Amino acid sequence: MIPVQVYNGQKVAVLGLGRSGLASAAALRAGGAEPICWDDSPEGRARAEAAGFTCTDLTKQGAFDDIAALITSPGIPHLYPAPNPVIAAAMAAGVPVDNDIGLFFASWATPEWQNFDIAPRTICVTGSNGKSTTTALIHHILTHAGRSSQMAGNIGRGVLDLDPPEAGEVVVLELSSYQTDLARALTPDIAVFTNLSPDHLDRHGGLGGYFAAKRRLFSEGGPDRAVIGVDEPEGTYLANQLAVSRSDDRVIRVSAARKLGDWGWSVFARKGFLSEWRKGRQIASIDLREVTGLPGAHNHQNACAAYAAVRALGIAPREIEAAFHSFGGLPHRSQTLAEKAGVRYVNDSKATNVDSASKALQAFKNILWIAGGLGKEGGVAGVKPHLGTVKKAYFIGHSARDFALELAPLDHEICETMEAAVAAAARDAQTGDTVLLAPAAASFDQYPNFEKRGDHFAELVAALPD
């Protein structure tokens, strides 16, 4: 646990008692603060009380009279589409609002660090797609290279659940826009921006607000190194804002779409090969085509970002290449489940929007595509340019018929359920085909989350005959 250092002897309110909320309350208590907890659900309050915390209704008049700060969970809106009433009351009372990420960075460094030969460091990863894979890949490379490392944030453990760091340890954090938007302290040593595509627009008041939330990791944090994906205009803009010249190697530009020019430092992937360039010279090259855990251009972008981040720590290219080949990928993200009768089955249940589904469709050939669920604003027509590899689609869930209409004349079958879709795809599949679950939709019509959807797909695939 990372004890919170900044509120010793003070009362601090905690709103939302899921994983991050309870971890925040425990870390506040460990640092000498008195956490005052609240959750709209009786189940959340019961969990907190079972852990020995006091629950007080923060919606009541005067609830913030003697409160030093309010710590809120990432999923609770603080501005758009409307502030949560408890957060609005705290702001009206002049009480600072923060989250666990802000507490972490305010409490991360301790006086014990003066005895370390090498100070601990943090690598923070944000962006729209690829954050989890990039974060896990960085952690994997560091572990493979024998560097002490922990991983947390939007993946794995909550940040305040981390163990106090050892000398030279590297903590790798995946940070969502919900987390970067509100954190009052953001001081990464290395910050990574993967890419940007429309998502969570209602929460951020539009695409500009969404990008601004991501940008805070760089503008507020002032990292020593910034790894920036420049395949979208926002990344190009961000890199331009951070660099003082073309030769400024504090900014490492990353692309999976083109060869980058004569920058101070760049890493890019073309035709399956990763290249590192510094000051006009190629430093290293890695063949990504046979790296089974990182299929497709979108994963090559993730590989470039992870490569750049660990190169900034001095990890050698050959060590990185070896780690790439031992990386198994993450569940539900272009995850190869099995090959049966010459047919590959791939679980990309995390592809919940058009952009991520399009990237999955570009990563494989001869695709039998399982898609659908609870469709998102804007529909699914954005995948049309990437349907050339799709032999047939099998639509499920609430938006099955909407998908069929939007993507006509694509050969398709309305299956509605995952069971029917897997059975139909397995029936039609021939040697060399890939059955791909890349829903391009949320899961909430049939499943509580994308993980459960992917797990169900995996169970059905496992039950198919070899």
Known binding-site residues for ATP equal 127-133
CA distance 204 to 202: 6
CA distances from 241 to 90, 123, 160, 245 (A): 34, 20, 31, 10
Cα separation, 129 vs 334, whole angstroms? 12
Of the candidates 177, 218, 179, 181, the residue with the CA atom closest to the CA atom of residue 200? 177
Q: Which of 179, 163, 155, 168 is nearest to 103 (CA)?
A: 179
Number of CB atoms found within 10 A of residue 320's CB: 22
Which residue is associated with the tokens 């760089």? 218
Distance of CA 124 to the CA centre of its chain: 10
Task: Enter the tokens of residue 395.
Answer: 């639509």
Q: Buried b vs exposed e over 66-77: b needs ≥16 C-beta within 10 Å?
A: ebbbbbbbbebb
Phi, psi of 384 (to 5 degrees): -55, -40
- Cα-only R_g, the chain: 23
Q: And the tokens for 367?
A: 């695709």
Look up tokens 């003697």; give the residue. Answer: 66
Categorise residue 272: left if φ over 0, alpha if ψ from -120 to 50, beta otherwise. Answer: left
Q: What angle is formed at CA 415 by the lines to CA 409 and CA 418, rounded to 5 degrees?
A: 125
Residue 115 half-sphere exposure toward CB, CA atoms < 13 A: 5
Residues 6+ apart with CB under 8 A from 323: 137, 140, 141, 144, 145
First-to-last alpha carbon distance for the chain, in angstroms, is 46
* Amino acid in position 53: F
**Spatial distance between the Cα atoms of 280 and 51, rounded to a whole number of angstroms:** 57
Q: Which DSSP symbol is given to 56?
A: -
HEC letters along 11-35: EEEEECCCHHHHHHHHHHHHCCCEE
DSSP secondary structure letter of residue 98: E
